[in-house]
Amino acid sequence: MSIPRQRGLTEQAATAAIDQARRMLRLPTIRSQFPELAETAGREQMSYLGFLSELLLAECDDRARRRSERRIKAAGFPRDKFLRKFDFDANPNIDPAMVHTLATCEWIKKGLPLCLIGDSGTGKSHLPIALGTEAAMAGHRFKYGLATNLVNELVSKPPIEATDQDHRPLRYGRVDPLCIDELGYMELNRRGAELLFQVLTERENKNSVAIASNESFSGWTKTFTDPRLCTATVDRLTSNGTIIETGTDSYRLATTRARAEEPATS
């Protein structure tokens, strides 16, 4: 299908031609913003090239925004969390400079691990979700999941090849990075622990992985009951990685208590 072309189109005919063209080229932002941008261009006496650049840049910006939104949705975050809303003053254990350095995504580009260790309410889940959001906005295919859900999926899904179950962890080698939250809350059976270890091995030095745990590394023997497997797993996650200890004092609980103690206003 082609669009009839002729010089000296009326304003209405030109608008209709633009609308038809943007449909063929799939340019929804140009359609929605064209009237406003055209009015601005006329008022500010933009050149033809200036007006064209404004149209194309608006389309590019909107496409980038929609792609970011799709990556954030595909990441599977359980809730919205952002770095700008993280209260560093409430938790002095966390170094703001380190977190903002992580937000540049260099650790992802280098395929390095990130570990956040601490009790509930200390920010150990807020930070990986917020960093994951930054990563998704920067173009990375972040994937978030609870440790138990990931292991259950590994154990229950059929293998890629019927004769080789060890190919299952390869599914998780394509996302970057992979965030495993709540590691350490529950004991894993041997098969689940082995498959999780294979995921970490598959990603080592290639694709980054972030974990959040309420247990120190010494307490992971309750999750990985095989001591050698536990040691090897910790080694995979700490080699050249960043470790952030978020502490044991829940600022979320402290904030709730402070609000409860505030005097009622009349």
Which amino acid type is present at position 115?
Answer: C
User: Which pLDDT score is estimated for 163?
Assistant: 46
Residues 14/22, Cβ–Cβ less than 8 Å: no
- pTM confidence score: 0.75
Residue (of 126, 72, 133) closest to 103 by Cα position? 133
In terms of Cβ atoms closer than 10 Å to its own Cβ (0-12, 13-18, 19+), residue 42 is exposed
User: Which pLDDT score is estimated for 21?
Assistant: 76
Residuewise pLDDT in 10s, the chain (266 residues): 555 555 556 777 777 777 787 777 778 888 788 888 888 888 888 888 888 888 888 888 998 999 999 999 999 999 999 999 998 988 888 999 999 999 999 999 999 999 999 988 888 889 999 999 999 999 998 999 999 888 988 888 655 554 455 555 566 766 778 999 998 778 888 888 988 998 888 888 889 999 999 999 988 988 888 999 999 999 999 988 999 999 887 765 555 555 555 555 54
Q: Cα 120 from chain centroid? A: 21
